[in-house]
Amino acid sequence: MTAPVIGLIGAGGIAQVHLPGWLSLGFEVVVHSLDGNAPELTGRLGGRVAASLDELLERADIVDVVTPTGAHRELVERAAAAGRHIVCEKPLALTAADAAAMIAACERAGVRLFPAHVVRYFPAYAALHEAVASGRVSAPAVQRFFRIGARPQTPWYLDRARSGGIAMDQMIHDFDQARWIVGEVEAVFATQSGDETTTSTTVQAMLRHRSGAITHVNGVWGAETLDFHTGFSAAGPGWLLEHDSLRHPILQLHGRADAGGPAYLPPVSAATSPYTAELADFAAAIRDGGPARVSADDGLHAVRIAAAVNRSLAQNAEVTVEETP
C-alpha cells in the first residue's frame, strides 16, 4: 500500500520545513508555486514539480497550502472542491468570515482541514498544556507569552492588507496557546509602538478569558540581527511554570505540582522536529479518522482573537472578541 501523495502549494519560507518534513515521513511530494521557485526548492530538498495547480490537485491526495495568507481561501476551496484533505499554514485567513467560509467548504466536500499552528507541537508548550489539562497543576490565573524576532524582509509580510500585520501573522501563535491553555477569550486590549512597514514594532495585547484568567502577549518584529526568542510563564496558586527558548531548553517547574513530582515536566527530545510532528499528527488523523491536536475550529478562533487585537489597535479601546466579524 503506497503512502498518499502530498501536494505542496508554495515554495517560500515555511515550505523549507514542510517539504523535508513530509519527505522524512515517507510521503511523495509534488510542489507548485506561482513565483516559479518550485524547481529550485525541489532540486535542493527533494520532491517533484507540478507545472500547474490543476496538475497538483490531480496528483495529490493531501494538499498543503503554504502561500501568503491572502491566497489561502481560494486555494483551500479549490482543494476541497477536488476532494482533497488540506493542511493550511496559519493563519487560516485574514478574516474570521473567510476562515469560516473555508471550514464550511471543507465540510460540504467531506474533507478535513488542519491549520498549521505548530507551536502546539513544541515540547515546552505541549508540556504546559498537559500539566494543566491533566490536573497536575491548577488552571492558571495569569499567563504571559512573548515572541521576538527579526522584522520580515519579504514585502508581503509588511503589508497589513496581505498579512494582517504582526498580530495576525506572528502573535497568533500565542493567541492560540492562550486559548488552548485556559479557554475562550472574551475581550482584548492592545497597544503598539513602531510601524511594521518602516521600523521595529512591538505589540502588547491583554486577553481576558471567560474563566477570569488574564493573558499578556508581547510580540516584536525587530532589527534583522535580533535572535529569534520565545517563551512563557503561567502561574496559579502555589505554582509557576516558565520557559525561555534562549535560557533553558525544557520546561522548568517552581513549586510542587504534585507530591514527589519531578523537577522538570516532562523530559523532551531536542532531536524531534515540531514541524514533522505536526505533519505526522495531521496525516494520522486523516488516515484513522480521529482528531488532531489542532482543529479547523481552533484556527478560526485564533483568527478571531488576532482580528480583535487589530481592531483594538485601531480604536485604542477594549474589543469584545465575539463581536468581531
What's the average model confidence in pLDDT over 290-302? 98
Residue 20 has pLDDT above 60, yes or no: yes
Question: Average pLDDT over the chain, rounded to whole?
Answer: 90
Tell me the sheet residues that pair with 319: 188
Q: In Å, what is the CA distance from 7 to each residue of 18, 111, 184, 290, 299? A: 11, 15, 34, 22, 21
Grid coordinates representing 298?
A: 481552533
Tell me the sheet residues that pair with 239: 236
Q: What pLDDT is attached to residue 260?
A: 38
First CA to last CA distance, the chain: 45
Residues 6+ apart with CB under 8 A from 47: 8, 19, 23, 28, 29, 30, 31, 41
| 236-294: pLDDT as tens digits | 999 999 999 988 655 555 554 343 333 323 333 334 689 999 999 999 999 999 999 99
What's the average model confidence in pLDDT over 28-53? 96
What's the average model confidence in pLDDT over 40-63? 97
Confidence of residue 155 (pLDDT cuts 50, 70, 90): confident
Q: What pLDDT is attached to residue 265?
A: 30
DSSP code of 201?
E
- Whether 190 and 320 have beta carbons less than 8 Å apart is answered as no
Return d(Cα 50, Cα 36) in angstroms, integer.
Answer: 11
Q: At what angle do helices 96-109 and 72-81 cross, to 10 degrees?
A: 10
Return d(Cα 28, Cα 46) in angstroms, integer.
Answer: 9
Write phi, then psi, for 88 (nearest 5 degrees): -130, 125
Torsion sign over Cα 131, 134, 136, 138: positive
Q: What pLDDT is attached to residue 261?
A: 37
| 158-171: pLDDT as tens digits | 888 888 999 999 99
- Whether 63 and 56 have beta carbons less than 8 Å apart is answered as yes
DSSP code of 295?
-
